[in-house]
Amino acid sequence: MIALVDYGAGNLTSVRKALAAIGAHVWTPAVPGELGRAHGIIVPGVGHFDATRGLTGDWRAAIKATVADGTPLLGICVGLQWLFDGSAEAPEVAGLRMFKGTCSPFTFPVNARQKVPHVGWNSLSMPRPSKLMAGITPGTQVYFTHSYAAPVIDDTAAICDYGGPFSAAVERGNVAGVQFHPEKSGDAGLHVLSNWLDLSRRSSGGA
């Protein structure tokens, strides 16, 4: 079973439909204690980083404990940003601190063609092999909608360039995140979700 965490900022319906399309069994836990029975945890999100305040101390502790036991964790969009130390969008709100770095706003020269928010399809490059992005070829296009982005770090599994490079996907061990929306990225997005679902099934012994 995949736990789809609802903290009031996620596009749960689209994510749930995408997961159903690849054969995942999903439920939304009502309390943090239910995460113990999850074979994988997804933290989605759209909008402002401040919404992650809804992931209170009990949720943070339960997610960290479950991940420490080997359960895969995937963050989507704001969910990826939450895996970092924090975001300049809401400096007083701490991230989960699974990855080092702070998410920053896009900044461009006055005459630049890029607009904020970054909305639409953009191509990916892969700086290293990763389980999450296996089978995704360089140049594959996925769908983004965001105004802040995570830095490129050693754990970056995919890069997008929008006036400068940022982390489109990160992965270390059983913790991963994607800045793009796999549930809105067609076959490529479903492929990434399938890769992650395979990891969750293997970690649970095939359940």
For the domain bounded by 2-203, which CATH number is listed?
3.40.50.880
205 versus 73: the higher-pLDDT residue is: 73
| pLDDT value of residue 56 | 94
| Reported confidence tier of residue 207, pLDDT bands at 50, 70, 90 | very low
User: For residue 204, is pLDDT > 80?
Assistant: no
Contact criterion met (CB below 8 Å) for 9 and 45: yes
d(CA 60, CA 58): 5
Phi-psi region of 101 (alpha: psi -120 to 50; beta: other; left: phi over 0): left
Task: Count other Cβ atoms within 10 Å, centred on residue 9.
Answer: 23
| pLDDT value of residue 178 | 98
The dihedral formed by the CA atoms of 55, 175, 204 and 13, expressed in degrees to the nearest 10: 50
DSSP state of 141: E
pTM of the model: 0.95
What is the average pLDDT value for the chain, to the nearest integer? 94
| pLDDT value of residue 11 | 74
| pLDDT value of residue 37 | 94
Mean of the pLDDT values across residues 8-20? Answer: 89
| pLDDT value of residue 3 | 97
163 versus 191: the higher-pLDDT residue is: 191
Q: Which residues are catalytic?
A: 77, 181, 183
Find the farthest-apart pair of alpha carbons in the chain and give their distance in angstroms, rounded: 54
| Reported confidence tier of residue 176, pLDDT bands at 50, 70, 90 | very high
